[in-house]
Amino acid sequence: MKDRVVLAYSGGLDTSVAIGWIGEATGAEVVAMAVDVGQGGEDLETIRQRALDCGAVEAYVADARDEFASEYCMPALQANALYMDAYPLVSAVSRPVISKHLVKAAKQFGATTVAHGCTGKGNDQVRFEVAIQTLGPDLKCIAPVRDLALTREKAIDYAEKNNLPIATTKKNPFSIDQNVWGRAIETGFLEDIWNGPTKDVYDYTDDPTFAPAPDTVTITFKEGIPVAIDGQDVTPLQAIQIMNQRAGAQGVGRIDLVEDRLVGIKSREIYEAPGAMALIAAHKELENVTIEREQARFKKIVGQRWTELVYDGQWFSPLKKSLDAFIADTQKMVNGEIRMDLTGGRAVVTGRRSDTSLYDFNLATYDEGDSFDQSQAKGFIELFGMSSKVASTRDQRLGKSDI
């Protein structure tokens, strides 16, 4: 029996071409594995058939949509994960769940090797291979696109020469990765960072310049997870899908970023993440209402480190698991409702309501009913500034004052 290789298959140019490359280079049979993480687009049965038409001996599709939304997107939401304060980890959060299913498929189909279609310049090669070697230490990894240093032009020529059924052509040079959490677009004329994105780049979002009337939405959270929209119960997957549609219609979630890649280069990326960006905005504001100040300050540090780990392909690392535990603990009181106006490319919070709120109206008000004892402020200020006052007195005595 021939050796088998499980290939992470998207249905796109690189992985379709990779089926033939692997067969020619190794003599192994290729099992194509497609994982549904809510990417939409083509029907998955069509993608499965394309893999077979491109030479795969088996083609398998795993429905991981609910798993992806609940176990990968929701932790990212609870962490308010925005790499470089902008990118909601669209591709990064999908790689570990895809890797998990690749390892399972390798065991199921008796494969010794797992392959992916990543290049040597991107982040995903690291994310896939680190996850695969963590979950399946006995498996080998190959990356035919990277290891043969084949360019996009060569891949297109190979596809045309072998009559592979692939839609991507030289007239449509974008490299696109998408799932329910968002959409990533790169290459082509976008590589010149002076070029603005044209309207054909976008799919998940409508032009915010011509947005319809504002859409007001109320999102209910329980322990940092959206559980209802406008009073209707939703699963995590449904919450993301609904917000993708509603926020996307208003042009929310368009991101144009020159990004620091893990491999040490800067890359221009266009992202669309209407649901993710609207939900993160709502979640952050509910945390402002329900999380104590010092805990919130430290969580921001933890959330940034968590985001960097996930971006860098360390989803299954010990540190990431430890940070998961801290973040989960902070979410116990993140309950309540956030009302938002979605309009003109923005998601604007207009109302907050929570039974676990730390906002005390009687302490905050300046009107009648104020329960804050202002007489305590003078002593607080005296003590709060004491160390600076003592240091300044010394400096003035030594002639080193700032004035």
Q: Which residues are catalytic?
A: 14, 95, 124, 175
Q: What is the DSSP string of 111-170?
A: -SEEE----SSSSHHHHHHHHHHHH-TT-EEE-HHHHTT--HHHHHHHHHHTT------T
361 burial (CB, 10 Å; 0-12 / 13-18 / 19+) is: exposed
> Are residues 284 and 80 in contact, defined by beta-carbon separation less than 8 angstroms?
yes
Tell me the HSE value of 38 on the side-chain side, using a 13 A CA sphere.
29
Structure tokens given for 1: 């029996």
Strands 113-115 and 58-63: unpaired
Site of tokens 């050796």: 3
| Phi and psi, residue 13, nearest 5° | -60, -60
Site of tokens 């003109």: 344
Q: How many Å apart are CA 51 and CA 23, to the nearest integer?
A: 13
